[in-house]
Structure 1
């Protein structure tokens, strides 16, 4: 039996034992966490396996429900993040939160600035309300400094955001991180203003579909 099938079967059994009919978000999170380790290191970056696991826990979207679900989530994010400096970008049924690194991190640091905690709290609130999604948190840098240093820094920043969201009870199985360093600039690194735009963290929010 394939790993994904084993995990889904185990997760389904865990949810039944937990009382699926009226379980709380905390109970769901605990059930997911109980089996998430079974795919750790194997399903990282494998969206198909993650969709199966999340779908078994909270259900999947289909048809017109996908667009409506993402419409409502987009509206909630825009309301919560109004005036925060975080951009909410829609691309089909995928949402992207563009978080400038200068708002979130000090130069050469990967710890989130405390004044940004309320912003991430607002993001986590919406993510908890709209749990039929998986997320890829991507860190980016400008092109100054050693390449490998920037790769490591971008991943450390993405991991810091992931860890903060987990601390706010966003299920870990829904979260994946990538560090892209200077490889995908939003604009050309031809000025300090442009480099500031390229120092950023993005959260891509993708619906779980059947």
Structure 2
């Protein structure tokens, strides 16, 4: 078999193994993710562009690896401590984001978008986390139950999400790293015909996403 073909097959096999390594839980150390991404990118670049292609591929791969290997576990642990006893659920999402699902018993009173005192410790920890992780951004999404008119619920959900963004902004988070969205009652997670279900649907979700390699500010 042609030596060049063998070399390319070897690199493909190596790249596949390295990519498999990238598919571990996001608790993986960032440095490992970056290194694996760089190696994978370099290998693929070498196939298509020789030495120059390897250098370019390594740069691209490092960026991908830096996000894939982002150490969410440390952030998860910090947030878990601050949200203990609040009913907040913290889950890792398929797209690589970390979601905080905060129930209505903690966030806002009925028909109000004024942040409750019980919500402040959770938001304080989110603000601290963002301050310590400049490559992370936050998307805040407000939800209501189906009680009331859809237009009213939509406006209320937007105002609640914006209240959270305003709170984080006044606690040191740059506005360009924050976004607010209201979904009204359009995305229920439980049955709106029961009080227990409506309580689950009245919620605030905060998504944390890495947009750059650690140490780099998001563009």
What CA distance in whole angstroms lies between the structure 1 residues aligned with 2:84 and 2:118?
Answer: 16
Segments of 4+ moved more than 2 angstroms: 64-72, 79-85
Offset at 1:63?
0.2
Q: Which residue of 1 aligns with 2:104?
A: 101
What secondary structure, in the 3-state scheme, does the structure 1 residue paired with 2:99 have? Answer: strand
The superposition leaves residues 7-26 of structure 1 with CA deviations (integer Å, 9 ceiling, x where unpaired) of: xxxxxxxxxxxxxxxxxxxx
- Could you tell me which residue of structure 2 aligns to residue 84 of structure 1? 86
1:205 to 2:208 alignment = yes
Measure the CA separation in 2 of the matches of 1:61 and 1:197: 38
1:184 aligns to 2:155 (yes or no):
no
Structure 1: gaps spanning 5 or more residues: 1-59
- Distance in 1, matches of 2:86 and 2:63, equals 30
Report the structure number with the largest CA radius of gyration.
2
Q: 1:167-182 residue pairs with structure 2 within 5 A?
A: 167-182=170-185
Q: Does 1:194 align with 2:203?
A: no
RMSD: 1.9
Structure 2 counterpart SS, 1:103: helix
Distance 1:78 1:61, change over 3 A: farther
Structure 1 distance, partners of 2:118, 2:63, is 35
CA offset at residue 131 of structure 1? 2.1
C-alpha deviation, 1:62, in angstroms: 3.6
Q: 159-168 vs 122-131, which deviates more?
A: 122-131
CA distance in 1, matches of 2:90, 2:63: 22
- Cα distance change of structure 1 residues 100 and 76 upon mapping to structure 2, 3 Å threshold: same
User: Which residue of structure 1 lines up, in the alignment, with residue 51 of structure 2?
Assistant: none
* More displaced stretch, 93-102 vs 70-79: 70-79
Q: Do the aligned partners of residues 147 and 71 (structure 1) sit closer, same or farther apart at CA in structure 2, a change above 3 Å counting?
A: same
Residues 43-82 of structure 1 mapped to structure 2, 5 A cutoff: 62-64=64-66, 66-82=68-84
TM-score (structure 1 length as normaliser): 0.66
Q: TM-score when scaled to structure 2?
A: 0.64
Alpha-carbon deviations, 1:131-180, whole Å to 9, x = none?
21121100000011011000000000000000001111011101001010
Structure 2 unmatched ranges of 5 or more: 1-61, 214-219
For these two proteins, the number of residue pairs brought into alignment is 151
- Report what 1:153 is aligned to: 156
Alpha carbons 2:79, 2:122 under 8 Å: kept: no
